[in-house]
Structure 1
Amino acid sequence: MARPTSKPAAAEPADAPKLLAGGNPQIPKGEGDAPVQAYIAAMPGWKSGVGRRIDEIVEREVPGVRKAVKWNSPFYGPPDQEGWFLNLHCFTRYIKAAFFRGTSLKPEPPGKSKHPEVRYLDIYEGDFDEDRFADWVRQASRLPGEKM
């Protein structure tokens, strides 16, 4: 009888979200706070705590913010209009925050995009400037939202 060559993988709960390549949680599309909270809870490691802080900042700075998960990423929109001003995505070493009208923010977030108006903020472990982020959220929420 042959011996197993490796330990069996630890069983994951049947309802645990799958992590896609790069560690981004696979969360079903949905509107409202519940799917966004499911995404945040499924963010791996330190990213979940930062995701929670991001969500708290957005809620504080934009009362009544609209939320949704689309394409396995949370989106945030102004309460009084269609469209979105921010979304998040997990990568292996960082969280990418996309400001859809980022070129209108002062100062602009540092990451450039192929889309002329989008700017990114890559958030690494231990390197999250909450005050700067809150300022960008306030500014972005007052601009026309990106329709998707």
Structure 2
Amino acid sequence: MTDKTTPKPKSAPKTKAADKVAPKKDVALLSGGNPQIAKGYGNEPVQAYIAAMPGWKSAVGSRLDAIIEKAVPGVAKAVKWNSPFYGVEKGNWFLSFHVFAKYIKVAFFRGAQMDSPPPVTLKQRDVRYFHIHEDDELDEKQFADWVKQASRLPGETM
């Protein structure tokens, strides 16, 4: 069980002005800057989470959400354990992300079963992670491919 880190490309994540979400001022930030958002199902709590992500992370969160929606039309969304979850149906999740002080951690719950799986492994055998740091350039094509693959695998029921 190793923790590999993704290399840091030179340019910042590419976002459009329309992708930026104004941070919500009344949301508490937990350890590492993770927004404390009440558990809820649907787009609204996910958008509240993304809006409350601090600094550069909010724009990246908006971009991730847009890529996921485009890759999996009609994707189910929820906020559970202060993280947005995405699934093919409510209660059957394939992906989540979480804010840490220096990066965003994207978890693909069955990532080990994917072709060219995301690079980071930790304790869970099936889960693969992708870390996004402030100076990273997001390979949107690769990310969308991972999302599509993950959506076709059995999800995690939580």
Q: Normalising by structure 2, what TM-score?
A: 0.82
* Matched residue, 1:94: 103
Q: Are the counterparts in 1 of residues 25 and 52 from structure 2 also a CA contact under 8 Å? A: no
Selected match of 2:85 from 57, 63, 75:
75
* Matched residue, 1:47: 57
Deviations 1:12-31 (A, max 9, x none): xx961100010000000000
**Unaligned stretches of 5+ residues in structure 1:** 1-13
* Matched residue, 2:156: 146
Larger radius of gyration: 1
Letter matched to residue 113 of structure 1? L
Cα gap change, 1:15 to 1:123, in 2 (>3 Å): closer
Selected match of 2:38 from 1, 19, 28:
28
Q: CA deviation at 1:113?
A: 2.0
Aligned counterparts of 2:55 and 2:139: Cα–Cα separation in 1:
19
Aligned counterparts of 2:145 and 2:126: Cα–Cα separation in 1:
18
Aligned counterparts of 2:59 and 2:131: Cα–Cα separation in 1:
15
Letter matched to residue 118 of structure 1? V
Deviations 1:85-114 (A, max 9, x none): 000100001000000000011101111021
* Matched residue, 2:75: 65
Q: CA deviation at 1:53?
A: 0.4
By relative contact order (CA 8 Å, sep 6+), the higher-ranking structure is 2
* Matched residue, 2:131: 122
Q: Are the counterparts in 1 of residues 56 and 134 from structure 2 also a CA contact under 8 Å? A: yes
Aligned counterparts of 2:35 and 2:91: Cα–Cα separation in 1:
25
Selected match of 2:48 from 23, 38, 57:
38
- The root-mean-square deviation of aligned C-alpha atoms, in Å, is 1.4
* Matched residue, 1:18: 28
Letter matched to residue 119 of structure 1? R
**Unaligned stretches of 5+ residues in structure 2:** 1-23
Matched position secondary structure for 1:51:
helix
Q: CA deviation at 1:129?
A: 1.5
